Structure 1
Amino acid sequence: YVWITYAAVQSLATAMDRSGSKEPLDLVKDLKAHGADTVIGPLKWDEKGDLKGFEFGVFQW
């Protein structure tokens, strides 16, 4: 979970830097429009706010 959490924080920081705001709606607009380059690769969001093409797997052994 470390890399996914790190990517989430990177996305938030990127949106805050680009938008110059800490307001949630401004950050959402920025991420929907531009996405974010993260440690796990580029992330993009659709109009509903869902990640595009992101797959997450949980394994048990």
Structure 2
Amino acid sequence: MDQKIINSLILTQSNTLTNFKLNGEIKFINLIQLLENCKNLRSIHIYKLNKYGDIPKDINGLI
């Protein structure tokens, strides 16, 4: 399940970069695929980097 989500994120980002649009749109099919893969998650954790760009210690091992 986690690998499907990661693959969807990569696909979404790669298509966004290769088909770049000035208004920042992404293809709906990629967004739908990402949402379908994420729908069974129990929680989603969002991390915000601080203003100096440091990575929080608890996610540092994931990179």
Question: What's the TM-score, normalizing by structure 1?
Answer: 0.37
* Higher relative contact order (Cα pairs below 8 Å, separated by 6+ residues): 2
Question: What's the TM-score, normalizing by structure 2?
Answer: 0.36
